[in-house]
Amino acid sequence: MHHSPLLAKCAIVTEDGWCLHYAGSYREQIRGAAMYTNKLVDPSQARISLAPALYHVQEDPGESRNLIEQNPKLAAEIHQRYVSWLEEVGTPAEHLAGRRTLR
């Protein structure tokens, strides 16, 4: 796994139809990583948003209305469940570090 928001971006869908788009925060890992000296992956060049976003896919299947500002607690809960799952399955600490913070 590369420590890059571009390569790590995922969507987390809950059982009640909420979908959190999440890319993690890898500033510390990228700063000291030898693999990034050649800028193989440059997050500043992304054509997609790397900011967390929250959608309710039952009401908005095209994911056009980001509801994260209206539902920060829900986004935090979904994120925490995701981090807990990563811990449960034994994700190595160096890969988990960039996932621990939502924003």
- What are the pLDDT tens digits along the chain (103 aa)? 455 555 666 878 888 999 999 888 766 555 555 554 445 555 566 666 778 999 999 999 999 999 999 999 999 999 999 999 999 999 888 778 888 888 7
Q: How many whole angstroms from its chain centre is CA 26? A: 10
Whether the CB-CB separation of 13 and 19 falls below 8 Å is answered with yes
Q: What residues make up the domain containing 16?
A: 5-99
Kind and range of the H or E run holding 77? helix 72-88
Mean of per-residue pLDDT scores for the chain: 80
Q: 5, exposed or middle or buried, with CB in 10 Å at 0-12, 13-18, 19+? A: buried
CATH at residue 93? 3.30.1120.10
Q: Please give the Cα distance from 12 to 84 (Å, whole number).
A: 13
Answer yes or no: pTM beyond 0.85.
Answer: no
Give the total number of structural domains in the chain. 1
